[in-house]
Amino acid sequence: MLVIASTLYRRSLGNFLDTIRIVRRRFAVRAARYPEIPWLVWVFAWLLLATAVFFSLDGAAGRMRGVWTPGFVQFTDFFTDLGLGGWYLIPAALCLVAANLTDWRSLSRRARLFVYNWTCFAFLVLCAVGLSGLAVNLLKYGIGRARPLYFNDFGVLSLHPLAM
């Protein structure tokens, strides 16, 4: 058992170091050139749009939740649960662990490309869902806005920063 764990550890570390070496070599040989994009303009536009949508729709939706039919509440709760990160993060993390423990040198070119594509896809999902979920939870905790369940008690725009 100890031999298997040692072998997996060495393979995992070797794969990680190979990946770092490849990335460093590619950036040293070919620097990335991206077109000039006015990021501040786009960020400002999206922030204005999100703020406008928040102030126009959020209060009305929160007040209306109390008069929704039980079937519609179940429907929206289903999509709330579906949007939670566990459905996406756990398979993506398991795919990355499996890719890290794969002996890449023994794979054929076709199999290596297949595993590489799934590894990139899993990393994209893990970063997109995981980092955005982490940012949203930190913002929700920092802002401390009342949940729709408590709109009647605290009001739509009540804030309780850093409260659990």
pLDDT of residue 146: 67
pLDDT of residue 79: 87
Instruction: Look up the pTM and report it.
Output: 0.62
Please, what are the averages of pLDDT over each run of 10 residues along the chain (164 residues)? Answer: 82 87 83 82 94 82 79 88 84 92 88 92 92 86 73 71 68
pLDDT of residue 81: 85
- Please state the φ and ψ torsions of residue 101, each to the nearest 5 degrees: -90, 0
pLDDT of residue 110: 93
pLDDT of residue 156: 65
pLDDT of residue 93: 93
pLDDT of residue 80: 83
